[in-house]
Amino acid sequence: MRVAVFSTKPYDTRFLTEANAAAGHDLVFLEPRLSPETAPLAIGADAVCAFVNDDLSAPVLETLAHGGVRLIALRSAGFNHVDLATARRLGLTVTRVPGYSPYAVAEHCAGLILALNRKIHRAYNRVREHNFALNGLLGFDLHGRTVGVVGTGKIGVRFIRIMAGFGCRVIAADPYPSDEAVAAGASYVPLSTLLAESDIVTLHCPLTPETHHLIDEERIAQMRDGVMLINTSRGALVDTAAVIRGLKSGKIGYLGLDVYEEEADLFFEDLSDQMLRDDLFSRLVTFPNVLITGHQAFFTEEALHNIAATTIASITAFEREGSAARIAPDALVR
Ligand code: NAD
């Protein structure tokens, strides 16, 4: 199949080319992000391979479908950026990569917590300037602290195991509680209890209309003073303006983000020569107790290998049957 691969970075080319060696699809690597302006680049392709910040809204899907595209193969687990109703109407099949490496995200999340708590990002800079003073670097033992996990799917469960290993008390909230999360060491509580009792709150649920701005002014007010808030899921789970107010008042003591609501215009690009026009992001990076990474939680060898292998497998399954019939059920977005 001819596949137009959008938002291609050198690592995508490497891993997809390796995974495609046996399958032999005609992969056309395109650097631009998928948007209404770039969608015509896919005309003549049978499939489009897209990433998290590609635009898969109705006008883009219309252009793709009318240009002959029948399959949208997402290189991500999340599919909140796809207008699924329009995709269905146009007869487009949509696939994703479920749980390509939940360890990658869970471990990055633990990394953000450790770095924020022990101020490793600040210590790194100090030592480079031969400043060995410890003032301002005081942390706390994770052992015995309460960690609240919102969303106990594949990533949440791995993360619970890690924090249980630190000797934390782990509490969790999820509309669909799982035995696996309990076996990993968590106990389920209502979200309001989780917010009130947690020293660290971390988000591992998908972005849906129900979870949009899940963490808003009201929910921040329910949290402990000086709480650590971590978001490695999707930016819009958090109301950034409300979080900034929480940081300014001291209610939020630490903030760790791997995702940001308006990240599409920022992340995955080197903008170091440019002035940032996003005032909220610019404000966030001024706080010493905020640590932001640019959507890199997934970025491990294992994850990129699995993403490429599953994506190519879905494309091959679609090609064989000419329909979604053979695609692995958990890779198919319905
Ligand atoms: P998953 O589908 O296995 O688990 C999601 C869990 O969230 C489910 O148990 C679901 O019941 C729960 N949930 C849904 N609505 C909820 C709500 N209102 N409150 C609490 N829980 C709720 O997904 P996963 O593989 O664990 O991934 C979780 C999220 O992580 C993805 O949706 C994606 O947005 C994000 N992610 C980020 C990166 C990254 O690089 N930063 C990489 C992969 C995934």
In this prediction, residue 292 has a pLDDT band, given cuts at 50, 70 and 90, of: very high
Residues 132 and 83 in one domain: no
CA 104 – ligand 1 centroid, Å:
14
Q: Which domain holds residue 139?
A: 102-292
Same domain, 95 and 115: no
> For 26-62, what is each residue's pLDDT tens digit?
999 999 999 999 999 999 999 999 999 999 999 999 9
Neighbours of 111 (CB within 10 A): 17
Per residue in 127-166, pLDDT (tens digit) is 999 999 999 999 999 999 999 999 999 999 999 999 999 9
Whole-angstrom CA distances from 306 to 199, 253, 289, 302 are: 34, 36, 34, 6
| Closest ligand 1 atom number to CA of residue 214 | 18
Provide the b/e sequence for 144-159 (b: ≥16 CB within 10 Å). ebbbbbbbbbbbbbbb
279 and 150 in a single domain? The answer is: yes
264 and 308 both lie in a single domain? no
- How many distinct structural domains can be found in the chain? 2
Q: Which of 76, 82, 101, 105 to mutate to test the pocket of ligand 1 (most atoms within 8 A of CB)?
A: 105
Claim to verify: residue 115 and residue 199 sit in the same structural domain = yes
185 lines ligand 1 (CB under 6 A): no
Residue whose C-alpha is closest to residue 89's, from 62, 67, 63: 62
CATH number, domain at 219?
Answer: 3.40.50.720
Regarding whether 270 and 304 lie in a shared domain, the answer is no
Closest-CA residue, ligand 1 atom 18, reads: 211
Q: Report which DSSP code applies to 56.
A: B
* 118 and 191 together in one domain: yes
Give the strands of the sheet with 2-5, arranged side by side.
26-29, 2-5, 47-50, 71-74, 93-95, 332-333
CB of 151 sitting under 6 A from ligand 1: yes
Query: Are residues 126 and 12 both part of a single domain?
Result: no
Known catalytic residues? 234, 263, 295
DSSP 281-318: HHHHTT-TTEEE--S-TT-SHHHHHHHHHHHHHHHHHH
Kindly state whether residues 227 and 238 are assigned to the same domain. yes
What is the rounded distance in angstroms from the CA atom of residue 78 to the CA atom of residue 263? 15
Same domain, 55 and 164: no
pLDDT tens digits, residue range 58-100? Answer: 999 999 999 999 999 999 998 999 999 999 999 999 999 998 8
Same domain membership, residue 265 and residue 175: yes
Do 181 and 287 fall within a single domain? yes
